[in-house]
Structure 1
Amino acid sequence: MNSQELLDLAARIGPVMVFLVAMTVVAEVAEIAGVFDVAAHWTAHAGRHRTWLLWILVVALAVACTIVLSIDTTAVLLTPVVIAMARQLGIAAMPFALTTVWLANTASLLLPVSNLSNLIALHKFSQLGAGTHEYIALAWKPAIAAILATVVVLFFLHRRDLLTRYTVESPADPHDRVLLWVSGGVCVALGPAFVSGVTPAIPAVIAAVALVATLAWRWRPKVRSIQVPWLMVLAVCALFVVVDIAMRHGLEPALSSLVGSSGGDGSLWRVGAVGAVSANVVNNLPAYLALEPVADDSPARLMALLIGVNAGSIVTVWGSLATLLWRDRCRRAGLTIDAWPYAVRSLLCAAAAVSAALLALSLG
């Protein structure tokens, strides 16, 4: 790669990396403020001792968290909260842990900011004349279909655990009210900001600065506990460079023959299937980066690819970075996730979610 090609690549991924860092800071401060803890305890109270109702509320919380605060927030920050909540209430933790990781992936289609691959794809969508609003108009039906399919599979697999009752409701730990309300308000305000059409990095940075300033005001020692994922940023940048070089040295023709050309609804299913399989073999981000150049001839095919690499990446524990991080959080919480049993259950969910989303996309 020459210097101009590197500059072009940096111009594309720079805003994405800024967004990633800023949203990580937002999520970290929200966790410190107790936003997720209070939300989980509110759902326990609102569940009225019915496990299935509590689970539905957790589903809604996971979906909202994924859509607005991104896939990693749900997988990393919400997971330990719902596991702890389930244990405090004396109910099975596994259905709730699987709910967070599956919905973190399958509910990450609706907004460009919900998943890093979506945010990367937004550049290609804009080149095809489709901005944020057009992206949402194309994504909302597949997104809803993927979420509903995931919920159905989750209930089918865990109906015995969910059709129980609980009796213990522990109160939420005390939190700084100012920090809690400011953090919650900022998280809510990000939703409209992200669909306004403004470059997502702008409201994300504003939110991060506001929350760090509030944290420094209310609880200064905690500022140092914020963990910025610099290693992840470097890894993503390296992936961009490696995939770009590979595409320039013969990978693109091979992938083009695998994906096929645009033409009819069948091509959407082919793109989605190849995306899903590739994501589970190598991880969803490099899979998207490699397949994007051979599926970027229409917004619909790009969306089919996103469906495959996002909703379909849950079969293997390395299929997405969020799933890897989720497994680590489960391990720290004392919940063992064995790769093979997880893959068997996740295959059913991935097949249902990807098929439902592609069907919704095909039907328009």
Structure 2
Amino acid sequence: MPGHTERLTGGPALNTPYVETLSVVLLFATLACAVVRPWGWPEAVVAVPAAVVAVAAGAISLPDAAAEAEHLAPVVGFLAAILVLAQLCDDEGLFRACGAWMARAARRRPRSLLAYVFAAASSITAVLSLDATVVLLTPVVFATAARLGARPLPHVYACTHLSNTASLLLPVSNLTNLLAFAASGLSFTRFAALMALPWLVAIAVEYAVFRRFFALDLAAGFRAPADDPEPVAVPVFALVTVVCTLAGFIATSALGIEPAWAAAAGAAVLAVRALARRRTTPVALVRAAAVPFLAFVLALGILVRAVVDSGLGDALDPLVPEGTGLPALLGLAFLAAVLANLINNLPAVLVLLPLTAPLGPGAVLAVLLGANIGPNLTYAGSLATLLWRRIMHAHDTEVDLGKFTRLGLLTVPATLLLSVVALWISLSVLGG
């Protein structure tokens, strides 16, 4: 019957405008609860029932929902493995050693601490994903700044900005990267080669703006400790495991195997060692995998698919620039940035990838630039930023909305513009 959709259950058909409205309401309610987290509930408490309602009401059929979950399964599996790997690295003392290195290196030069934080946050984000930077490095940076008597704001703000901006380099650096990687058809090394220049440019622009924006904080309130910080032993086994895991990402990509297996292998090696030494427990490993958050990602994917199928994809299609020249790449990146700040960057990528994948890997990577850099403009742009705010509150530090927004306005447009130009240069030199 025209204007109606049939539900999988064979029940009465629902009016299409009703289905469209319901799917949008469910998505925004899920995102709002992820931002607010009423009563401290996990994101999945609202997301999973919302996905069930979307299927039951006919906003998405059960086979389509199952297909979307199957499509996201390797991404979710990788996320679980990398979260466990990062937590085990923290248990081994890798982040404490990083903090000790920063404290020793910046002992006599207060302004240099920001550079060391940038180096540490960029490296950790690229290799262990943005969650490791937000959850594990931010507390270390707080402690390092306190030890040196430095004002913490420039350095902890760097953690949240770089958890987004510095996640451009590798397919494994961000959940959005894994989705884009799967849609791009690129190999692991090809992806990294094309994104290396945009990654470096984006970090350099962020650093230049931070130095100027936080000039007073960087110059004030610093006192060098009388004694050198005590050296902290580098956890060689954990470091070697991370390096081998990174090599495993490259090998699995060459063999056409999902990177989740390499991440799982690295996590398993450290988990066996930690269990044997009684440094962790099976319950702690399951907790580190953040199962409720994994369920949230799956449910969110289903809800986004319902919204796209209900008409959002058709509405956005005319806004997608044609071609892959510099103007088109800029248009795609800024479109992704705007959408990320409206509905969060993960849904934005899920919405835009089906529209841009046919245009080639250059278009997909431009979307990724917008989705990863754009969220630095608002709190709701990235789940990592929301998590960072909770860590700030746990350290009795309030996030000034005005300062956060001003910093975003200074960094995001310039970083996005120059990184897209850098991507265009990489595509011109290396080929898309």
TM-score normalised by length of structure 1: 0.92
Q: Deviations over 1:188-216 (max 9, x none)?
A: 33333323325311111011111111111
Aligned to 1:152: 208
Gap runs ≥5 in structure 2: 1-59, 427-432
Q: Pick one of 337, 353, 378 that aligns with 1:276.
A: 337
Match of 1:45 in 2: 104
| Whole-angstrom CA distance in 2 between matches of 1:49 and 1:219 | 39
What letter is aligned with 1:138? Answer: L
Contact 2:333 2:369 in 1 (8 A): yes
Aligned counterpart, 1:104: 163
1:166 maps to which residue? 223
Cα 1:48–1:87 change in 2 (3 A) is: closer
For residues 38 and 263 of structure 1, the distance between their equivalents in structure 2, rounded to whole angstroms, comes to 44
Deviates more, 1:102-111 or 1:138-147: 138-147
Q: How many residues align?
A: 358
> Aligned partners of 1:357 and 1:174: how far apart in 2?
36
- Are 2:336 and 1:336 equivalent residues in the alignment? no
Cα distance change, pair 162–340 in 1 and its aligned pair in 2 (3 A): closer
Helix, strand or coil at the partner of 1:314: helix
Instruction: Report the alpha carbon displacement of residue 341 of structure 1 after superposing the two structures with TM.
Output: 2.3
Equivalent pair of 2:96/2:232 in contact (CA under 8 Å)? no
SS in 1 for 2:77: helix
Q: CA deviation at 1:292?
A: 1.4
Q: Partner amino acid for 1:317?
A: Y
- Provide closer, same or farther for how the CA distance between residues 275 and 216 of structure 1 changes in structure 2, counting only shifts above 3 A: same
C-alpha deviation, 1:332, in angstroms: 0.5
State the partner residue of 2:57.
Answer: none
Q: Label 1:221 to 1:112 Cα distance change in 2 as closer, same or farther (>3 A).
A: closer
Residue 311 (structure 2) aligns with: 250
- Preserved contact between residue 369 and residue 420 of structure 2 (Cα < 8 Å): yes
Does residue 364 of structure 2 align to residue 302 of structure 1?
yes
The residue aligned with 2:250 is 195
**Higher mean C-alpha displacement, 257-266 vs 341-350:** 257-266
Map 1:204-215; keep pairs closer than 5 Å: 204-215=263-274
Quickly say closer, same or farther: Cα 1:209–1:311, change in 2 above 3 A. same
Distance in 1 (alpha carbons) for counterparts of 2:280 and 2:74 = 29
1:47 Cα deviation from its structure 2 partner: 2.2
**Aligned partners of 2:303 and 2:330: how far apart in 1?**
27
In structure 2, the partner of 1:324 is 386
Equivalent residue number for residue 417 of structure 2: 355
Distance 2:199 2:282 in 1: 36
Q: Distance in 2 between matches of 1:248 and 1:83?
A: 45
Of the structure 1 ranges 135-144 and 73-82, higher mean CA displacement relative to structure 2 is found in 135-144
- The aligned counterpart of 2:40 is none
Identity of paired residues, percent? 33
After superposition, give the CA deviation of every residue in 1:52-111 in whole Å (9 maximum; x if it has no partner): 222212211111100000011101110011011101211110010011111111011110
Task: Say whether the 8 Å CA contact 2:373–2:416 is kept in structure 1.
Answer: yes
Structure 1 106/132 Cα, relative in aligned 2: closer, same or farther at 3 Å? Answer: same
1:318 aligns to what SS in structure 2? helix
Is 1:234 paired with 2:295?
yes
**2:248 partner letter:** A
CA contact (8 A) 1:50 1:163 kept: no
- Name the TM-score, length of structure 2 as normaliser: 0.78
Structure 2 equivalent of residue 289 of structure 1? 350
Please say if residues 154 and 214 of structure 2, whose CA atoms lie closer than 8 Å, have aligned partners that are also in contact: yes
Find the partner of 2:191 among 121, 129, 135. Answer: 135
Judged with a 3 Å threshold, the aligned counterparts in structure 2 of structure 1 residues 173 and 43 are, in CA distance, closer, same or farther, namely closer
Is contact 2:201–2:419 with CA below 8 Å preserved after alignment? yes
What is the alpha-carbon distance in structure 1 between the residues aligned to residue 98 and residue 154 of structure 2? 18
What letter corresponds to residue 135 of structure 1 in structure 2?
F
Larger Rg: 2
